[in-house]
Each structure stands twice: as C-alpha cells, then as structure tokens.
Amino acid sequence: MIIALPPFDKLNMPEVKFKITNTAKVMGTFCPEPHIITISQEKHEHFTTVLKTILHESCHLAMHLQGKSYLTHGKYWTKFKKEVAAQYSFDSNEI
C-alpha cells in the first residue's frame, strides 16, 4: 500500500505487517524486526487519521532502512516527514 507510493517507492521498502491495538498511550508504533506498524483503535476515529499515522510510522521505517535513527524525530526524520507531508498535501505537523 504505502510502500508502493512516493516517496517510499524509491526506498525498496519491505513488506510491513499491521497490528491493531487498544492502547490509549500512543497513536501508533514501528517495530523494525519484524517490520510491524501498530495502530491504536482507541486513538483513531477517521480514515485520514489512520492514514496520517501510517505515514508517520512509515517515516520511522524509512529511517531504519537508511541506517538513521528511527527511534526519535531527529533532523533526517523531520526532513523526510516534511517531504511526505508535502507529497500528500498534509500539514507536516499532522503526521
């Protein structure tokens, strides 16, 4: 899905599994081994919110694949997140 769309399509993204959780602590998470993105059903009521969380966590995956820190929202992550947000016409603070 997302991995086939720009800018992720240029990164040779692996298959990602998705897991739905009931946690109210975070909207989503990324785990590198195996590649899993979790989405909290407690934090999402609309498809666009789910999409933004998937984009956000996919940015963490992209940093992991590029050998950069994926655990924080550092300089490279923020730059990539802004590129992703612009690609999909979202405010970069929304993802």
pLDDT digits (tens, 9 = 90+) for 44-83: 999 999 999 999 999 999 999 999 999 999 999 999 999 9
DSSP the chain: -GGGSTTGGGTTPPP-EEEEE--SS-SEEEETTTTEEEEETTS--SHHHHHHHHHHHHHHHHHHHTTS--SS--HHHHHHHHHHHHHTT--GGG-
As a whole number, mean pLDDT of residues 7-32 equals: 92
What pTM value is reported for the model?
Answer: 0.92
